[in-house]
Amino acid sequence: MTDLDRIISLSRALGAPERDLVILAEGNTSIRTGPDRMLVKASGANLATAGPEDFVDVALSELIALVDVPETDDRSIAEAFSRLGAATGRRPSVEAMLHAICLHEGGASVIGHTHPVPVNALLCSEHAETLASVVIYPEQIVVLGRKALLIPYVDPGLSLARLVRDRLREHIAAQDAPPKVIYLANHGMFALGASAAEVLRITEMAVKVSRIMQAGLAIGALSPLTTHASDRIHEREDEQHRRAVLHGSEQLPAQ
Ligand SMILES: [Zn+2]
């Protein structure tokens, strides 16, 4: 299976109507194909029906350089971005800069960005930080880690890419590891995986955690796991075994 096959399969899985993670041309995906290259969904393409022509091959360093340019030069950055992928006739998604940062700084190999209803219900409420920081059951830690990164709402595009880059660096310095999920307030989620299968698992678990949190909040207050219990699960050998087994199942479910 080629990287292009992998990212097409993941895109169709994330876009499948029964999963209800995105509608229309919402969401996007990317995969690292070399030390400095990625395939990223083209602007306007639909995840559910994605095909080979819907992905643009771009250099990570080219996108990261745009994010690193001082804010005063935003107009020239917009022009440079519009030239990316010009040779293929397809432009990368406006969120391509975020993908480049997640692949480059977040140590991931595959990224899936979606707008699931249960996740966005929390991200569009006063409970966004709860979703990112409160651990309510063991499987949540196994798949999503102990702490996700929550980014407050800013304009999509360059401002958002810059903020994610800075907060991601802070998160890695504080937690000693990149997050499995980046939640964008009033917007959606980014799953950072080592494989396409992991991106799908992270997304599905984030949806499940969100559903349980909403139900719990509707009937009263949540009862989180203690820090001690969370740490135990994170470090326990059988949980590490379970994580390894999960990571061993790298086939995406058949469509
Ligand atoms: Zn989005």
In this structure, is residue 254 part of a structural domain?
no
Q: Is residue 93 part of a domain?
A: yes
In tens, the pLDDT along 83-132 reads 666 656 778 888 899 999 999 988 899 999 999 999 999 999 999 999 99
41 vs 231: which has the higher pLDDT: 41
27 CA to middle of ligand 1, Å? 5
Q: What is the pLDDT of residue 25?
A: 87
Please write the tens of the pLDDT for every residue from 129-180.
Answer: 999 999 999 899 999 998 999 999 998 888 899 999 999 999 999 999 999 9
Q: Is residue 142 included in any domain, yes or no?
A: yes
Say how many Å lie between the CA of residue 111 and the centre of ligand 1: 12
123 alpha carbon – ligand 1 mean position (Å): 13
244 Cα–ligand 1 center, Å: 30
Which two structure tokens, joined as six digits, stand for 238?
A: 């059988």
pLDDT in tens, 204-213: 999 999 999 9
Q: For residue 110, give its domain range.
A: 3-248
Number of domains the chain contains:
1
Inside any domain, residue 202: yes
Identify whether 253 is part of a domain.
no
pLDDT at 14: 97
Residue 90 pLDDT: 77
Residue 222 lies in a domain: yes
Is 255 domain-assigned? no
How far is ligand 1, taken at its centre, from the CA of residue 57, in Å? 20
- DSSP code at position 92: B
- How many angstroms separate the alpha carbon of residue 98 from the centre of ligand 1? 10
Distance 37 CA to ligand 1 centre (A): 22
Distance 96 CA to ligand 1 centre (A): 11
Mean residue pLDDT of the chain comes to 88
Average pLDDT of 50-64?
93
Q: How far is the CA of 106 from the centre of ligand 1 (A)?
A: 18
3-state secondary structure of 249: coil
Ligand 1 midpoint to CA 71 (Å): 22
Distance from the alpha carbon of residue 241 to the mean position of ligand 1, in angstroms = 34
Report yes or no on 98 lying in a domain.
yes
pLDDT of residue 158: 85
**CA pair distance 56, 41, nearest whole angstrom:** 6
Buried b (16+ CB within 10 A) or exposed e, 108-135: bbbbbbbbbebbbebbeeebbebbbebb
State the distance from the centre of ligand 1 to the C-alpha of 23, rounded, in angstroms: 11
User: For the domain that residue 194 is a member of, what is the CATH number?
Assistant: 3.40.225.10
| Cβ–Cβ under 8 Å, residues 196 and 124 | no
